[in-house]
Amino acid sequence: MTADPLAGWLKVVGLGPGTEDWLTPEARRDLAEATDLVGYFPYVDRVPPGPQVRHASDNRVELDRARHALQLAAEGRRVAVVSGGDPGVFAMAAAVFEALDDPAAPAAWHRVPLSVDPGISAMQAAAARAGAPLGHDFCAISLSDNLKPWEVVLRRLRLAAEADFVIALYNPISRARPWQLGAAFDALRDLRSTETPVILAQAVGRPDEALTVTTLGAVDAAQADMRTCVIIGASHTRLVPREGAQPWVYTPRSYGVRG
């Protein structure tokens, strides 16, 4: 198949956390206009059937995937690189720019029209289901130590606790990283009250979504899996009882002053 190299583009498209209810009109349009879909296979599988060529790959090959997508676009294909959640948050957008930033990147890659479609990220979906835990200053930390030394993760957790940020944890646990989440909870237990609310939001936006509200004292890392987003409250994060469900969790907008 031949294509006009000048007609190609690459869009990094955020699919949101699962349900089409959270897929933006921009993302839907770009997926429909793409000739090629590139991504981790569960995300590619989420795009409704269509004429697009599907290049699904395994996890942990983000950079190869990004290079492949840039090359296809440079050859004139309209390429959607798909990511769950927001591609800009611990996801494929950074990998595409890393591939482009390689001194060995062909000049043609730099001529590819490139854009990013933001999506609802996992922590926002988790927060919406739980109430409003991200209503005040917060941070997002990936627990994956594939990409940074574990000491950096620990140091960030300690400083985040000292700053009294609400903390959202991405990539909390996997078969290859079984102990990190427990170690993170242990580190935070030394610095925050055991009564601190903790949210475990599993597969939000999917048919099997589940929400657990517990405390830093009681939480067990075994309650989380790969599809869990963990949110740990700040010192002023509060609960509101809700009939027939987990309590609401919210973090007031004001801090240390009368609102």
C-beta closer to a second copy: residue 52 or 251: 251
Least gap, CB of 148 to a second copy (angstroms):
4
Least gap, CB of 4 to a second copy (angstroms):
19
Nearest to 219 by CA among 180, 171, 181: 181
**CA–CA separation, 159 and 162 (whole Å):** 5
- Dihedral pair phi/psi, residue 169, rounded to 5°: -105, 125
Residues 13-52 that bind a second copy (CB under 8 A): 16, 19-26, 29
**Buried b / exposed e across 91-109, counting CB within 10 Å, b at 16+?**
bbbebbeebbeeeebeeeb
C-beta closer to a second copy: residue 44 or 96: 96
160 near a second copy, rule: CB under 8 A? yes
C-beta closer to a second copy: residue 1 or 253: 253
Least gap, CB of 45 to a second copy (angstroms):
20
Least gap, CB of 224 to a second copy (angstroms):
19
Residues 63-82 that bind a second copy (CB under 8 A): 63
Residues 162/191, Cβ–Cβ less than 8 Å: yes
Residues 193-212 that bind a second copy (CB under 8 A): none
| DSSP code, position 48 | P
Give the DSSP H/E element, type plus range, for residue 37.
Answer: strand 36-40
Least gap, CB of 217 to a second copy (angstroms):
22
Residues 91-120 that bind a second copy (CB under 8 A): 91, 93-98, 100-101, 110-111, 114-120
> Of residues 127, 173, 213, 216, which one binds a second copy by CB under 8 A?
127
> Of residues 56, 128, 183, 191, which one binds a second copy by CB under 8 A?
128
Q: With contacts defined by CB under 8 A, how many residues of the chain interact with a second copy?
A: 81
**Buried b / exposed e across 62-81, counting CB within 10 Å, b at 16+?**
beebbbbbbbbbbbbbbbbb
Residues 161/191, Cβ–Cβ less than 8 Å: yes
- Pairing relation of β-strands 228-232 and 197-202? antiparallel
Give the DSSP H/E element, type plus range, for residue 73.
Answer: helix 62-74
> Of residues 35, 52, 71, 124, which one binds a second copy by CB under 8 A?
124
C-beta closer to a second copy: residue 53 or 63: 63
